[in-house]
Amino acid sequence: MNKPITTLFMLMSVDGKISTSDNDSLDVDKDFPRIIGVKEGLYQYYELEKETDLYSFNSGRVLAKVGINNKQDNIKKLPVSFLVIDNQPHLTLLGVENLLAKGKRLFVITTNKNHPAFEKQKESNIEIIYYENAIDFVNLFQRLKDEFDIDRLTIQTGSELNSIFLRNKLIDKISIVVAPVLIGGKNTASLIGGESLHAVDELINMKALKLEKVDVLKNSYIHLKYNVVNETEIK
């Protein structure tokens, strides 16, 4: 498949949770800085985030949780382009304006013909990729490579989208910062969500990983890097 090389870059707990709750009222970015034994080493995740690809793939829901729709003064322009999946939408017009001010380019991928991004479609640094019924993610990733010359991108979406990308062989690399904390909760989002496997013939949807590097960080944090084996073999 002709597509960008993709890296899933996430912060998670030792038990694989990428959120602190089963709803949007809590979030690791807000909650981890409050936990003694966790907050001390959190800065290392944000330092590593600065080294990720110049194309950052996220969802409107995640960005709304971290406050992109709030009024922001003195926004610092970054050399990063943002790609945002947003159907509901979760982004407001102000959120779109903040992303346009913050990033080099903004790509909004949506099935919502009334998305507020359309009010900004005349801006020189916005691209709206519209799908009428459902987003074809395989087609999308091919278009990102063929039409927009995106060679590499970092994925930082939620567990449901992470699952879709994994099942469709769209994740090439995993870069995970493991925080020294256990969260728990059967409905709390984990790294890979989506539909569970139900039968032996669905084992093909699992993806083996090849360890590339382990870095033991300060304050009991760990950074794990893997290559994804997308062609699963079953014996």
> CA 42, CA 12: separation in Å to the nearest integer?
11
The answer to whether the bond into 33 is cis (omega within 30° of 0) is no
Q: What angle do CA 91, 31, 218 make, to 5 degrees?
A: 115
Confidence (pLDDT) at 82? 98
pLDDT of residue 216: 98
pLDDT given at position 188: 95
Minimal CA–CA distance to 7: which of 143, 204, 176, 178? 176
Q: From CA 136, how far away is CA 164, in angstroms rounded? A: 10
Q: What is the pLDDT of residue 27?
A: 85
Bridge-partner residues for 11, per DSSP? 177
CATH code assigned to 5-229 = 3.40.430.10
Q: Which two tokens stand for residue 180?
A: 């020294």
With 0-12 CB in 10 A as exposed, 13-18 as middle and 19+ as buried, what is 140?
A: middle
Amino acid at 141: F
Q: Which pLDDT tens digits describe the chain residue by residue (235 residues)?
A: 799 999 999 999 999 999 999 987 888 989 999 999 999 999 999 999 999 999 999 999 999 988 999 999 889 999 999 999 999 999 999 999 999 999 999 999 999 999 999 999 999 999 999 999 999 999 999 999 999 999 999 999 999 999 999 999 999 999 999 999 999 999 999 999 999 999 999 999 999 999 999 999 999 999 999 999 999 999 8
Segments making up each domain of the chain, as ranges: 5-229
CA atoms lying within 13 Å on the CB side of residue 199: 1
Burial class (CB in 10 A: 0-12, 13-18, 19+), 67: middle
Contact indicator for 178, 220 with CB cutoff of 8 Å: no
